[in-house]
Amino acid sequence: MARILISPLGTGIKKENQNVYKKTKYKIEDKFYNESFISIALTKHFDIDKQFLIGTSSSMWDEAYLQYSYYNKREPDEEFWADLSESIKDRDHKFRLGEDKIKKVRSALGEESEIYIINYGLDQDEIMGNFNILFDISSKLNDGDEIYIDITHSFRSLSLFVFVITNYIKNVMDRDIKINGLHYGMFEAPKELGYTPVVNLNLITQMMEYIKGISEFKNYGNGYILSSLISDQNVNKKIKTISEVVNLGNLTMMRKSINDLKGVVPILKNSNFIGDSITAEALEKFVKRFSNAKTDSKFQYETAKWFFENKRYGQSYMVLTEAVVSYICEKEYMRTISKEDRDAAKGILFDCKSLSEGYGNIGEEEFIRSLKNKDESKRYKKIAKYYFEINDIRNRIAHAVDHPNSRTNLKGDIDILQKSIEAFKNLLE
């Protein structure tokens, strides 16, 4: 485990007629540091183990070499320092620092520290080249590392690059890495305050996590990220529970869990933290979506529709077929939770199919007499037509039944599902 500073290096400002950089009074938390560049101040304050410094060939590498030599209690090579200082003086974007000089500066930073020389980013090729260089940072990180990021100096665009890399580290890398700070030195403030405050913008990365968490919940019903961010134990437990039941496909518990979320929304709305407020808004929209689903069939239909909208087609098929059976149960005054009654409801659908296809032992009049809700016979037949089409596909999906045309049927299966959902909007009223 190591504490690592990722810091862009600017060109600095030298004192007039002197080969010495001007120093700035930095304030980090409650301590002050009088340094020529912010990286060394952050290194001292957070007791950094490794530095990953980023800059162009004309950045203030001479000062980095000098100050980190002192910091690591090494005697700087004055001749090398003077030569390096002259090398980077008044250079344009075409200048390239020699590898021998880069190597010596890197050694001054300390063991396993790195230097990344980037281009100005004047065109797409240079921008892509910079991304490729900076993404190498991720390969140097290990489990347990703690990252401190500085976005004060160099090009404004470099801060965006570093921010993208930060998101990559947090969201893509399969390693336990913690980002402890996103620091910015406010050079706009010294005239008023007499020093340069270094502020931690970690709220930005935290808000990105909230946005990612809300997106996960909105699109997939996964509230795991949100539950890990919210401090209220009762709230995060309920958000985690709804995620579990959605992924299990337990509709009975899902309905109860959605109802439980109603009590979570006002708690988050009353929070002073914006992350909680936008979470409350997302949860409220989710709860309201199901608020008019008073019966089991309506709830199941709305759930199937939600699964479809979020491209969870298999689950949509499963739930939609169950919604049809529940609807028949409700219309025929049967219990939706009884296996016996649900089998009877399926029997009605099979009778509809046999009548429409001209086989079976039941006639039209006998079929109507068998119904408790006789006025619904025509509706049941229309429902049955869609039901058996989606049920066949549902069985193929659920039971992994091999189908010779399964590859070419993918789009067709999705189109049939969409058509059925639209049809059942009116048929299941």
Question: Which amino acid, one-letter code, is at 302?
Answer: E
pLDDT for 211 equals: 93
pLDDT for 346 equals: 95
pTM, entire model: 0.79
Q: Say whether pLDDT at 216 is over 80.
A: yes
Strand locations in 145-213, DSSP E? 146-150, 178-185, 196-200
What is the DSSP code (8-state) at residue 22?
Answer: P
Higher pLDDT, 249 or 290: 290
Rounded mean pLDDT of the chain? 88
Its sign, for the CA torsion 329, 334, 336, 338, is: negative
Q: Torsions phi, psi of 338, nearest 5?
A: -90, 125
Distances in Å between the alpha carbon of 364 and those of 75, 282, 354, 373, 385?
Answer: 102, 50, 10, 15, 16
- What stretches of 290-336 show up as alpha helix (H) in DSSP? 296-309, 313-331
For 144-166, what is each residue's pLDDT tens digit?
A: 899 999 988 777 777 777 778 77
pLDDT for 398 equals: 78
Winning range, highest mean pLDDT, from 117-121, 150-154, 170-174, 264-268: 264-268
What the chain holds in terms of domains, given with CATH numbers, is: 3-200 (3.40.50), 210-289 (no CATH), 296-427 (no CATH)
Q: Find, among 182, 186, 202, the residue nearest to 24 by Cα.
A: 186
Q: Say whether pLDDT at 323 is over 60.
A: yes
Number of H helices, E strands in the chain: 18, 8
For 373-392, what is each residue's pLDDT tens digit?
A: 999 999 999 999 999 999 99
Q: Say whether pLDDT at 196 is over 60.
A: yes
pLDDT for 403 equals: 56
Percent of the chain with pLDDT over 90: 51
pLDDT for 56 equals: 86
What is the DSSP code (8-state) at residue 21?
Answer: B
User: Is 42 within 8 Å of 49 (Cβ atoms)?
Assistant: no
Average pLDDT of the segment spanning 70-76: 91
